[in-house]
Structure 1
Amino acid sequence: MRGMRGKLLKTLKSIPTISSLRHGLVFQLSPREKIPIRKNQSFSAELVVKEVLRAEDRELGFNICDNESVTPPFLDFEEETDDEQDLPCLLDFEEKCPPGGGDCVVLYLTSLTGIRKTYEDCKAIRFLLESFKVAVQERDVSMHMEFREELWKMFDSKVIPPRLFIKGRYIGGTDEVVVLHEQGKLKKLFGGIPLDLSNSPCSRCANMRFVVCFNCNGSRKVFADGDHEKDELHVKCAECNENGLIRCSICC
């Protein structure tokens, strides 16, 4: 009996009391952390444990709210800025698709210098697109009558170049494209467009996109049946356009 009584007393002594638990937990707090205790509030071990955990959360950088919700700092999501929300997408533009231009950039322009303003506008838009290093199908309406007819047919009127299209969407003329670029909104519209990393003009056409027809040498006439003696046997060349030109086989 004496042996059992001694073991029982020894076991009871090893059980921590509330006062000893409170004393041990309080010393785990850092010197600058204090537990706020309101008047007439019971000082329990549960309160001490809760405040210790909250103090540790603050040291780790967690956001501790009054309703005891804890939010890790890395879960604070950033909201989109006004600039990102204002960026346009291609669906915001009118659907007008040039022939074969459903998945590329098409620029209708002119290389004639007769009307200086039109030529300078085309030159400026062309230079702007080159700065973005994107692949562009340039369709010179002064070099090829079919390009001019394509452009007029899409608008049902005789519009003046330049006119920019991206993936079957009409972006606009000079004023619209320049405004989009100045607002930083033009670059996003080129998403998914292949890049053109060439740093030098085309070795064959010098970026004119057309060369003289090799079949008729630009005369638009060829001899029928190889007879070079009779001029009346001349026939129209089937290879070139109305200007005796053909598309460059390297850059087009």
Structure 2
Amino acid sequence: MAIFSSSWLKLPSNVNKPTPPPRSYRSLSCSSVKDILDLCKSEPETEVLSPRSASILNRIKMSTTVLLRLWTRSVAGQSGCKVPHGDHRVVIYYTSLRVVRRTFEDCSVVRSIIGGFRVPIDERDLSMDFKYVQELEKITGSKDLNLPMVFINGDYVGGVEEVRQLHESGELKTMLERLPVVESKTCDVCGGLRFILCQTCDGSHKLYRQKEGFCPCMDCNMNGLITCPSCSTVG
């Protein structure tokens, strides 16, 4: 019991003394009214750019866009492959799946921008046909695909940011003026989906043969679809 003694039973000597304020409060108590008013001042408003400054920034932005487009084009062309059937048209690799919302929205923006021009457009939906995935992997030389990817006249242009900036600067219109002019209309056969059900297997992607049993249909993709014969050839 000697170890504990009775010291812990005694009242502390400073029990009746006022508790000193925290250090931060003590330092604040020494502050003047002017210091407090300085703390309450709002931040200065953002300086409004002059027309000349805004023009310079736009030029820098356009130059950056061109350099970025040239760099991405060279990256896509490292494998030495050209987009199959990509001449004299715009080829858009995209996805219609909504699994990743950001990717789906980016694809929708690109399709909307390009669709506003009267040019041949070949939209290749990776979610509808796996051959487009393999095709794009061969073109880029990589399995890490960032959709959407836009090619104009066989050359890689970029994704949603590049297309948006080119459109805002007016350069996209200049690039598309070199392509043939076509009338935009919805296909009466596929309704604009560019795919229809396979007539051989009725969309099941399976056929039954008496000797072999069930086997994959060779006329369609794994989704049981074939490219629309009415609008698959663009331009």
* TM above 0.5: yes
Residues in 1 aligned to 2:95 and 2:200: alpha-carbon distance in whole angstroms: 25
Residue by residue over 1:182-224, the C-alpha shift from the partner in whole angstroms, topping out at 9 and shown as x without a partner, is: 111101111331223134x211212111111111011111232
Which AA in structure 1 matches 2:222?
Answer: E
The reply to whether residue 110 of structure 1 matches residue 95 of structure 2 is yes
1:142 counterpart residue number: 127
Alignment match of 2:177 (pick from 191, 202, 208): 191
- Larger radius of gyration between Structure 1 and Structure 2: 1
Which AA in structure 1 matches 2:103?
Answer: T
Structure 2 residues not aligned, in runs of 5+: 1-58
The question of whether the paired residues in 1 share the 8 Å contact of 2:88 and 2:180 is answered with no
Residues in 1 aligned to 2:182 and 2:115: alpha-carbon distance in whole angstroms: 8
The question of whether the paired residues in 1 share the 8 Å contact of 2:106 and 2:160 is answered with yes
Trace 1:5-44 onto structure 2 (pairs within 5 A).
none
The reply to whether residue 215 of structure 1 matches residue 195 of structure 2 is no
Runs of 4+, deviation exceeding 4 Å: none
Residues in 1 aligned to 2:102 and 2:70: alpha-carbon distance in whole angstroms: 29
Residues in 2 aligned to 1:101 and 1:244: alpha-carbon distance in whole angstroms: 25
1:241 counterpart residue number: 221
Trace 1:21-100 onto structure 2 (pairs within 5 A).
94=73, 96=77, 97-100=82-85
SS in 2 for 1:186: helix
Task: State the 1:102 CA deviation.
Answer: 3.3
1:161 counterpart residue number: 147
Task: State the 1:100 CA deviation.
Answer: 2.0
The reply to whether residue 177 of structure 1 matches residue 157 of structure 2 is no
Which AA in structure 1 matches 2:184?
Answer: S
The question of whether the paired residues in 1 share the 8 Å contact of 2:110 and 2:148 is answered with yes
Which AA in structure 1 matches 2:208?
Answer: F
SS in 2 for 1:171: strand
Q: Which has the higher contact order (CA 8 A, sep 6+)?
A: 2
Task: State the 1:104 CA deviation.
Answer: 2.3
TM-score (norm 2): 0.62
Identity %: 39
Residue by residue over 1:120-171, the C-alpha shift from the partner in whole angstroms, topping out at 9 and shown as x without a partner, is: 1111111111111211111111111111111122222211211000112110
SS in 2 for 1:146: helix
Residue by residue over 1:33-67, the C-alpha shift from the partner in whole angstroms, topping out at 9 and shown as x without a partner, is: xxxxxxxxxxxxxxxxxxxxxxxxxxxxxxxxxxx
In the alignment of these two chains, the number of paired residues is 160
TM-score (norm 1): 0.58
The question of whether the paired residues in 1 share the 8 Å contact of 2:89 and 2:119 is answered with no
Residues in 2 aligned to 1:179 and 1:114: alpha-carbon distance in whole angstroms: 26
Task: State the 1:92 CA deviation.
Answer: 5.6
